[in-house]
């Protein structure tokens, strides 16, 4: 019976690979674009250093729209954009486009929250010693928020793993798609269960690593 679960092992490896590509690229997008966006959200907020009502309203609206969109609909709605960016709307790479958009919006919010935890006095001290904008961000804010930033990225990554499971609709593949095609649709319950276990293990690894790193970084 157990052999039954492993009979598509080759396809399973490929699916794991696809999940890694989709999640990996969206984590990259979250860090490269979500982090600066979240920092901007933080600075523009009422009462913060570069308070800016208009910019704040625009950014918040955008982030909220992306985050409130039912994910599958977002994937479909973004097909033309995806085609524009990667030349095709089908396949693993194409699937990373909507996933990355959600990743950026999702993580930026968590970045903003992590930065809001920093006491006002830290910024005050930084400015009093003549820190430039970048000095303030890299030598003070990110340093103080770093474990929150890592925990946020961990939470985000797990969400991206979950989002990536529906990418079968645009031929994105991945472990979720494997579970549906080889397990659910062929009535091979063992195969489906195996895929689910793989997902659970993946999530556990991410959470454990994230929590551990965050704890090591926190000296407070």
Interface contacts to other proteins, rule CB under 8 A: 119, 121-122, 124-125, 127-132, 135, 139-140, 143-144, 146-147, 217-220
What is the CA angle 25-13-182, rounded to 5?
A: 105
- Residue with smaller CB distance to other proteins, 123 or 157: 123
- Residue with smaller CB distance to other proteins, 129 or 197: 129
- Residue with smaller CB distance to other proteins, 87 or 121: 121
Judge residue 155's burial from the number of C-beta atoms within 10 Å of its C-beta, 0-12 exposed, 13-18 middle, 19 or more buried.
middle
Smallest gap from Cβ 218 to other proteins, in A, equals 7
- Residue with smaller CB distance to other proteins, 131 or 203: 131
The string of DSSP letters for 188-200 reads -HHHHHHHHHHHH
Judge residue 188's burial from the number of C-beta atoms within 10 Å of its C-beta, 0-12 exposed, 13-18 middle, 19 or more buried.
middle
Smallest gap from Cβ 42 to other proteins, in A, equals 17
Residue 173 to residue 147: CA distance in whole angstroms: 32
Smallest gap from Cβ 136 to other proteins, in A, equals 9
Closest Cα to residue 33, out of 76, 80, 66? 66
Find the helix or strand (DSSP H, E) in which 53 lies. helix 53-68
Smallest gap from Cβ 38 to other proteins, in A, equals 18
Smallest gap from Cβ 148 to other proteins, in A, equals 11
- Residue with smaller CB distance to other proteins, 152 or 183: 152
């Amino acid at each position: 019976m157990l052999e039954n679960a492993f009979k598509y092992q080759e396809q399973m490896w490929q699916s794991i690979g696809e999940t890694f590509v989709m999640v990996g690229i969206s984590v990259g997008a979250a860090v490269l674009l979500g982090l600066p966006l979240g920092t901007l959200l933080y600075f523009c907020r009422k009462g913060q250093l570069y308070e800016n009502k208009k910019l704040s309203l625009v950014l918040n609206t955008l982030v909220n729209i992306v985050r409130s969109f039912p994910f599958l609909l977002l994937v479909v709605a973004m097909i033309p954009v995806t085609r524009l960016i990667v030349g095709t709307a089908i396949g693993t790479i194409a699937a990373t486009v909507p996933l990355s958009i959600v990743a950026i919006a999702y993580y930026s919010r968590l970045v903003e929250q992590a930065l809001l935890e920093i006491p006002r006095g830290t910024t005050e001290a930084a400015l009093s010693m003549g820190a430039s904008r970048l000095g303030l961000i890299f030598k003070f804010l990110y340093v103080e928020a770093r474990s929150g930033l890592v925990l946020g990225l961990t939470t985000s990554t797990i969400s991206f793993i979950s989002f990536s499971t529906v990418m079968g609709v645009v031929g994105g593949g991945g472990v979720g798609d494997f579970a549906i095609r080889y397990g659910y649709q062929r009535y091979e319950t063992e195969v489906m269960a195996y895929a689910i276990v793989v997902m659970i293990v993946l999530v556990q690894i991410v959470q454990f690593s994230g929590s551990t790193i965050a704890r090591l970084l926190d000296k407070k």
